[in-house]
Structure 1
Amino acid sequence: MLIEEGAKYQISQGVQWNFNSAETMTVISNNGITVQFLLDENKGRGSMPIDHLFYLLKKANLTQIPNKRMLLNTDTTEEQIG
């Protein structure tokens, strides 16, 4: 899975206390080893190893929120197929 800058993730309630009770986080930097992020509502910022981000995604503690561009690309692809 590719972690892009600007990707937004929903934080599950079970781990929100680890993220200052923020509901979402946005990736601001990814150097291939470490991911830097901002928490919603100005609740802070942080960084973590990319392997830990993958672990949180695998355990469903984080879920990616699709951005509008991704949704538009999906709609276009489905129209071309149909």
Structure 2
Amino acid sequence: MEVKIGTKYQISENIKGNFNSATSLTIISETNNTIQFTLNDQKGHGAMPIQHLQYLSKKNYLTKGMNKRQFLMKEDNEEEIV
């Protein structure tokens, strides 16, 4: 799994309690096999092994959000298809 700094993940309702009721987290750094992140709305920060991030993604507890550029590119592609 490729981890990019600045990637935003939406947190599922099932595990929001584990993340101070935050709705999303953003990757701020990656070192070896650990990532550091911040929670939205200034609700905190933390770190976890990349393997745990993969597990949470696989179980759909975390879903990768689109950044603004990806959203605009997707929107342009949809307009071209129509």
Which stretch of the first structure deviates more once superposed, 31-40 or 53-62?
31-40
TM score, norm. by length of structure 2: 0.84
SS where residue 16 of structure 1 aligns? helix
**TM-superposed deviation, 1:71:** 3.4
SS where residue 41 of structure 1 aligns? helix
Q: Separation in 2 of the partners of 1:40 and 1:75?
A: 25
Q: Percent identity?
A: 49
Q: Separation in 2 of the partners of 1:11 and 1:75?
A: 24
Q: Separation in 1 of the partners of 2:64 and 2:46?
A: 18
**TM-superposed deviation, 1:76:** 6.9
**TM-superposed deviation, 1:72:** 4.2
Match of 1:36 in 2: 36
Question: In angstroms, what is the RMSD of aligned CA positions?
Answer: 2.0
Matches of residues 1-82 of structure 1 in structure 2 within 5 Å?
1-74=1-74
Long gaps (5+) in structure 1: none
SS where residue 10 of structure 1 aligns? strand
SS where residue 48 of structure 2 aligns? strand
Q: Separation in 1 of the partners of 2:76 and 2:32?
A: 30
**TM-superposed deviation, 1:74:** 5.0
